[in-house]
Amino acid sequence: MHSEEIEIRTGGTEVVRDLTGDCMRFLSGAGAQDGLLNLWVPHATAGLAVLETGAGSDEDLLATLERLLPRQGWRHQHGSPGHGRDHVLPALVPPYATIPVLGGRLALGTWQSVCLVDTNRDNPVRRVRLSFVAG
């Protein structure tokens, strides 16, 4: 298994960050052909999603999360206001994803991208572990 951790700077705002290019660079560096790419976010307040980006879906996801998980009303109180919702996020947007790799390329649909979803304004730097298992 080839594995590497990358650092993603998300800043102090909610973000859906496209990681597809990072994944392709990792696969190229690993000499990957056929197998599985697993992504893991070792944080209690971030997740991974496969979705279309650039056409508004990323903003729609953040708006939907705001409706489902509003910033106020949480028992979990440390951090900035609404930080409790950030700890619930990974139950809806999991901190892992596994994508088939064929011929060294992600087997994604035409409009699919692999994205980090981070609503935590208190943590501007994230880590994502990429692991390739040959098949």
How many CB atoms lie under 10 A from the CB of residue 135?
A: 11
All structural domains of the chain = 2-134 (2.60.120.460)
Find the length of the chain: 135
Which run of H or of E encompasses 60? helix 57-68
Question: pTM of the prediction?
Answer: 0.94
For 10, 18, 52, the CA distances from 76, given in Å and listed in that order, are 23, 29, 32
The Cα angle at residue 92 between residues 45 and 63, in degrees rounded to 5: 85
Q: Per-residue confidence at 11, pLDDT binned at 50, 70, 90?
A: confident
Query: What pLDDT is attached to residue 125?
Result: 95
Reported as a single tens digit per residue, the pLDDT across 77-115 is 788 887 899 999 999 999 999 999 999 999 999 999 999
